[in-house]
Structure 1
Amino acid sequence: MDIIGYIASIFIGISLGLIGGGGSILTVPVLVYLFGLDALLATAYSLFIVGSTSVVGSFSYFKKGLVNIKTAIIFGIPSIVAVFLTRTYVVPAIPEEVFSIAAFTVTKNILLMLLFAVLMIFASYSMIKKCKGEDCLPTDTPTAGTLLIVIQGIFVGFVTGLIGAGGGFLIIPALVNLLRLEFKKAIGTSLVIIALNSLFGFAISVTHYTIDWIFLFKILALAITGVLIGSYLSKKIDGKKLKPAFGWFVLLMGIYIIIKETLLN
């Protein structure tokens, strides 16, 4: 399974470079299901891997002018605060055994994976649904006020801190649907936000775990290779075509995780 895991690590980077998200959606399942890591440790590793690859992936978008700095700041600051509070107070407060239903016990690890999957399914809807009329036109003119954007940033930070997801699958729909950013500009901005949130979250977590740095840097090297491939492919693929494909991918992964953690556990 390790070989499959290493191959999948390349696709973590490809998804980040190509669509600005999805890396964390791949990272946590790869670490848990292919490498056999504890889900909580996998969330910490995911923060480092996704954050570092997002830094690399954002460079090409900066060069093309496809990063909205103002949006990254408005969205990013409340996200970072939420990451800190979640990793420091919320995650440690979750009991190892949350509750039991008949013979099925929901542990802390299972709960985190199920929350992860449910959020993926909800996020996929906004990416798959077809827009109509003027809604299809990205204008870079926000349709939401600053307060709503800040609230969205707090929510993304909470998700990042709780389940180790960079939040690209939540950030991109917010940037496209609330802020009316063109899809590829949303990708570039998303990568910056993901990098800030994820690396900050890992910095908070690093003292709580014994980190296998050699393993972590192997995965990171493969993911960075993937993000360079993804960034190259993004030049040749229409952003409008990426949006629904990304949504279907997120939906299928969410359904798989729910089945794996409940029926197949």
Structure 2
Amino acid sequence: METLQIFGYLGALIVGLVLGLIGGGGSILTVPLLVYVLGYNPIIATAYSLFVVGSSSLVGTIQKFRKGYVDIKTGFAFSFPSFIAVYLSRKYLVHRFPDIFLTIGNFSLTKNVAIMIFFAFIMLLASISMIRTKREEKELLGFKQPYYMTFIQGLIIGTITGIIGAGGGFLYVPALVLWAKLPMKKAVGTSLIIVTINSLIGFTGDIQSIEIDWFFLLSFSSFTIIGILIGVAISKFISGKKLKKGFGWFTLIMAIYIIFKELNTKM
């Protein structure tokens, strides 16, 4: 096994740990890992990310449910508009993007670069959500949106996460806290339901459009599943607040790196 592959599988283990500990952020690591370490193009990487994150989140959901940290009703209510948007965006939108988005002089913004920059922009937004203090979150807890607003936002988040190959956990954890008023630990567990449904249904929209390397995908996902089992087991011993903020800063750095790398490559 080559050195890069070893790093790739170790990265898969870390992806699972992150999912098990904070209920989101798996795709934030998976897509860059597949693109920059293992050399997959962004279209393939975002598709594989959906399967990896979805399958490991399914295992994590079962583990969290056993511990009483899953609100099934709320999870399905939030996931319904999202998985529709994720599936439609993967099946009908992503694969129809033009190869060249924009040309200015000698600069051409290709589909692959555009997807990675958009992914980095969403990472920036997610990092702000994770870094912000608990006091700022408390100030928003008094506001609860009606379901029709949640439905619309679910469609928007589903479309975004479908394009970037994410389950959306890093967006749904704060949504579940602010809108559904779930405690943080229950929001983390409930978000895994949404991530599972979004990711696996979104992945089915790619199956007919790309050739899947099932051996790699299943073996990579196995390491992620091991990681999420470990993450769920140790989550009660680790401060979720400190972990979330630390991962937020890591996400911010990764987003800046991706933007710099992609634009610098094209300059």
TM-score range, shorter chain: over 0.9
Q: State the alpha-carbon separation in 1 of the partners of residues 192 and 137 from structure 2.
A: 27
Q: How far 1:128 moved relative to its partner?
A: 1.4
1:25 is aligned to 2:28: yes
1:96 is aligned to 2:123: no
Q: State the alpha-carbon separation in 2 of the partners of residues 134 and 156 from structure 1.
A: 20
| Aligned structure 1 segments of 4 or more residues deviating by more than 4 angstroms | none
Aligned CA RMSD, in angstroms, stands at 1.9
| 1:230-262 deviations in Å (ceiling 9; x for gaps) | 111202113233332232222222112111111
Q: How far 1:62 moved relative to its partner?
A: 0.3
Q: State the alpha-carbon separation in 1 of the partners of residues 145 and 47 from structure 2.
A: 32
| 1:116-175 deviations in Å (ceiling 9; x for gaps) | 11011112212212243891797xx87222122212211221122211111111111212
Output the amino acid matched with 2:88.
L
TM-score between the two structures when normalised by the length of structure 2 = 0.92
Q: How far 1:11 moved relative to its partner?
A: 0.5
| 1:64-84 deviations in Å (ceiling 9; x for gaps) | 211112221221000011112
1:127 is aligned to 2:130: yes
Q: How far 1:179 moved relative to its partner?
A: 2.6
* Uncovered stretches (5+) of structure 1, i.e. residues with no partner: none
Kindly indicate whether the alpha-carbon contact (under 8 Å) linking 1:142 and 1:179 is maintained by their aligned counterparts in 2.
no
Output the amino acid matched with 1:111.
A
Matches within 5 A, 1:37-76: 37-76=40-79
1:251 aligned residue:
252
Output the amino acid matched with 2:110.
T
Kindly indicate whether the alpha-carbon contact (under 8 Å) linking 1:51 and 1:198 is maintained by their aligned counterparts in 2.
yes
Q: State the alpha-carbon separation in 1 of the partners of residues 44 and 230 from structure 2.
A: 28
1:208 aligned residue:
209
TM-score between the two structures when normalised by the length of structure 1 = 0.93
Count of aligned pairs: 263
1:84 aligned residue:
87
Output the amino acid matched with 2:202.
G
* Uncovered stretches (5+) of structure 2, i.e. residues with no partner: none
Kindly indicate whether the alpha-carbon contact (under 8 Å) linking 1:76 and 1:197 is maintained by their aligned counterparts in 2.
yes
1:156 is aligned to 2:146: no
Task: Report percent identity of matched pairs.
Answer: 49
2:226 aligned residue:
225
Q: 1:137 to 1:151 in 2, by over 3 A?
A: closer
